[in-house]
Amino acid sequence: MIDFLAAAAVLISGLLAVLAGVGLLRFPDVLTRLHAAAKAATIGLIAATLAAALEVDTVGAGALLLLVVALLFLSAPIGSSLLARAAYYDRDTPLTLTGRDDLAEDLQTGQSRYKPTEKSRYGDSRPGKASLLVGWLVVVWIALFSSGTAGVVLGGLALAAGVAIALPGYRPRWPQGLLKPVALLRFTLFFGRSLVAANLDVVRTVVAKRSLRPSIVRVPLRVSTRTETTLLVNAITFTPGTVGIEIVGDYLYVHILDLRDEDAFRREVDVLETGIIAAFGTSRERDSIMRSPNPS
């Protein structure tokens, strides 16, 4: 049974890689091709890692799988957003936006000309905590070695301390809200369903060769902390079919591969944002979402 599941995971990974290549050939510009490549880089890589973990069948392999997923969620969306942003502002890069471009309209009218300072956007400019960075790096180190021996732990502590001292800008900040495990579980389950559905939709788009309506849509932000904003943008960009391009003021601009139902997209973003606030938000934010009715 384990071998069958591992083989199925490898097959899914290979098929997604092939479909990603087909999408790169069929889609018209760099922004749309990012969505095709995301399938192999997210679900495809997770499936391949799952197959390896099933074959090894150890606790360390399972921890490594969780580490891969966590690192993918933290790093892959940032790279995609930076590539999309650079392509959008590069005058020599041809873009196909047959739907709409809210960012260009706002820039032309001057509504989004100036970005607020970090202090006005997030309420503070506290420095990051070295202890958070050290703790995260030690966990990663132990997972990579699949061992919790004294030598591995001490080596991880030494390396993590050196990184925290040498790179102070990478020290994360304490979340302003308290983590709610049940709310985090609900958010994770919803995000997982959305991720699978988005992959299937992009696959249908690649196979059916239907005409696309690439668009950039303005989405108002309700999150107010760095942690929540990062999680929201990463969740949107990690999902094939949507890439966060820019944050200006209280708006997030998202590139959508094929805009068919704007209301449905906004509802999905609202559910993601509500789940993040419920899991990580401050008490004031949680009270606000409880008072605000869900959009129909």
In a domain, 195, yes or no: yes
* 32 and 119 both lie in a single domain: yes
* 14 and 152 both lie in a single domain: no
Q: Which amino acid is at 249?
A: G
The whole-number pLDDT of residue 215 equals 92
* 156 and 179 both lie in a single domain: no
* 177 and 166 both lie in a single domain: no
Burial of 261 (0-12, 13-18, 19+ CB in 10 A): exposed
CA–CA distance from 91 to each of 44, 88, 101 (Å)? 32, 8, 15
The whole-number pLDDT of residue 39 equals 67
At 79, the pLDDT band (50, 70, 90 cuts) reads confident
In a domain, 83, yes or no: yes
Q: Which two tokens stand for residue 59?
A: 């606790």
d(CA 102, CA 109): 11
Up-side HSE of residue 21: CA atoms within 13 Å toward CB? 5
The whole-number pLDDT of residue 231 equals 87
**Rounded-to-10 torsion of CA 127, 130, 134, 135:** -70
- Please identify, among 140, 170, 200, the residue that sits at the C-terminal boundary of a domain: 170
- Sign for the CA dihedral angle at 137, 141, 146, 148 comes to negative
* pLDDT of residue 224 exceeding 80: no
What's the chain's average pLDDT? 80
In a domain, 266, yes or no: yes
Q: Which residues of 149-169 are buried (b: 16+ CB within 10 A; e: fewer)?
A: eeebeeebeeebeebbeeeee
At 113, the pLDDT band (50, 70, 90 cuts) reads very low
In a domain, 296, yes or no: no
Across residues 78-101, what is the average pLDDT? Answer: 88
In eight-state DSSP terms, residue 209 is T
In a domain, 244, yes or no: yes
The pair phi, psi for residue 249, each rounded to 5°, is 60, -125
Q: CB under 8 Å to 203, separation ≥6 — which residues? A: 16, 19, 39
* pLDDT of residue 181 exceeding 90: no
Report whether 81 contacts 245 (CB < 8 A): yes
* 112 and 222 both lie in a single domain: yes
pLDDT in tens, 31-43: 888 888 776 667 7
The pair phi, psi for residue 83, each rounded to 5°, is -65, -45
Domain that holds residue 136: 130-170
Number of folded domains that form the chain: 2
In a domain, 14, yes or no: yes
pLDDT in tens, 266-294: 998 999 999 888 888 777 777 766 555 54
* 223 and 185 both lie in a single domain: yes
* 115 and 56 both lie in a single domain: yes
Q: Which amino acid is at 257?
A: L
Please report, in angstroms and rounded to a whole number, the separation of the first and last CA atoms in the chain. 44
Q: Which amino acid is at 282?
A: T
* 166 and 283 both lie in a single domain: no
At 115, the pLDDT band (50, 70, 90 cuts) reads very low
Report whether 177 contacts 225 (CB < 8 A): yes
Cβ count within 10 A of residue 48: 20
* 85 and 199 both lie in a single domain: yes
Report whether 84 contacts 254 (CB < 8 A): no
d(CA 263, CA 137): 40
